[in-house]
């Protein structure tokens, strides 16, 4: 599987592993949404736009996790004790987070600033371990074990590659797989230049898992693009606040254009830099820092 913009293998697994472990210690995005008073920014008040994009109540989805996450724990793709130890440095897991790890959930998933980093980590494990034709293709890449998404996952009982594309937890029929692949090939994230269909970082793996879950539960293409934009917005608040500012200045509605915004033009690393950051910088319209971004969220 070859995609435009693919940058090749990670140079150092040791460095990547360290970076990805540090990612697990990072504070929740909601704590990062404070203005950076040291940054050179204009004085425009974007508080209303921030409230729309980063509402504490979050986004209601159609996804029901069921026993998906406990199965990851049971199979060793998530080592519960390692997971608890990592989160102890952040004040420990919340009761609802621990419950998702050990008990089936029949409630529809809500993605919000307070839980989006936790979801990033559990979906990361699902994305690289759940068996799917997309990972069949990815496995043909010689250095697949050295990518940030694979080599960087250290919270499994054994080496992460022992679980890569091995667990049959989320299953899709032919029609669901086709929809899932279409969206995965045409959604990006601003930390990388590869589509979700080549999940070479934690965000890519986690989005892959969310799209799999959504497709397996009957979400259509439009709904999956919306889901991709919602979670990316919370994972990369600075990038997507900037995108929303640009589109608002052009009279374009943000949430009504999820497919385009989640695509290569606005959501890939190079696309966002050229089509959002550059024009906003030239017009002095870059908003105050909203936090987040990069593969070390």
pLDDT score at 240? 97
What sign for the dihedral angle of Cα 66, 71, 77, 81?
positive
78 touches 101 (CB < 8 A): yes
pLDDT score at 291? 57
pLDDT score at 46? 85
pLDDT score at 8? 41
The 10s digit of each residue's pLDDT in 167-187 is: 999 999 999 999 999 999 999
The 10s digit of each residue's pLDDT in 91-146 is: 999 999 999 999 999 999 999 999 999 999 999 999 999 999 999 999 999 999 99
Q: How far apart are CA 36 and CA 43, in angstroms?
A: 12
| Confidence tier at 288 by pLDDT (50, 70, 90) | confident
59 touches 230 (CB < 8 A): yes
Query: Mean per-residue pLDDT for 66-91?
Result: 96
pLDDT score at 175? 98
Q: Token pair for residue 53?
A: 């994009």
Q: Structure pTM?
A: 0.84
Least confident of 139-143, 195-199, 266-270: 139-143
What are the residues facing 66 on neighbouring strands?
105
Element (H, E) at 42: none
Query: Mean per-residue pLDDT for 259-270?
Result: 98
The 10s digit of each residue's pLDDT in 18-63 is: 334 434 434 443 444 443 333 334 446 788 999 999 999 999 999 9
Higher pLDDT, 99 or 12: 99
3-state SS of 18-58 is HHHHHHHHCCCHHHHCCCCCCCCCCCCCCHHHHHHHCCCCC
């Amino acid at each position: 599987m070859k995609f435009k913009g693919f940058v090749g293998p990670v140079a150092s697994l040791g460095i990547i592993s360290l970076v990805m472990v540090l990612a697990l210690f990072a504070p929740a995005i909601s704590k990062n949404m404070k203005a950076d008073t040291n940054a050179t920014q204009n004085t425009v008040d974007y508080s209303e736009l921030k409230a729309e994009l980063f509402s504490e109540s979050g986004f209601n989805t159609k996804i029901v996790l069921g026993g998906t996450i406990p199965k990851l724990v049971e199979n060793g793709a998530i080592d519960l004790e390692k997971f608890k130890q990592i989160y102890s440095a952040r004040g420990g897991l919340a009761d609802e987070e621990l419950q998702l790890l050990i008990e089936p959930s029949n409630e529809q998933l809500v993605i919000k600033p307070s839980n989006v980093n936790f979801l990033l980590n559990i979906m990361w494990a699902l994305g690289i371990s759940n068996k799917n034709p997309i990972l069949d293709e990815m496995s043909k890449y010689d250095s697949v074990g050295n990518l940030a998404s694979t080599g960087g996952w250290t919270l499994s009982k054994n080496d992460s590659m022992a679980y890569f594309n091995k667990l049959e937890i989320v299953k899709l029929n032919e029609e669901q797989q086709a929809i899932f692949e279409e969206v995965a090939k045409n959604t990006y994230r601003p930390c990388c230049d590869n589509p979700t269909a080549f999940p070479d970082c934690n965000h890519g793996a986690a989005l892959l898992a969310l799209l799999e879950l959504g497709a397996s539960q009957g979400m259509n293409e439009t709904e999956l693009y919306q889901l991709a934009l919602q979670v990316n917005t919370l994972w990369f608040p600075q990038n997507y606040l900037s995108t929303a500012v640009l589109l608002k200045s052009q009279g374009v509605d943000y949430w009504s254009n999820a497919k385009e915004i989640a695509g290569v033009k606005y959501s890939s690393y190079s696309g966002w830099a050229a089509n959002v950051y550059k024009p906003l910088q030239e017009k002095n319209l870059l908003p105050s820092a909203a936090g987040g971004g990069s593969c070390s969220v």
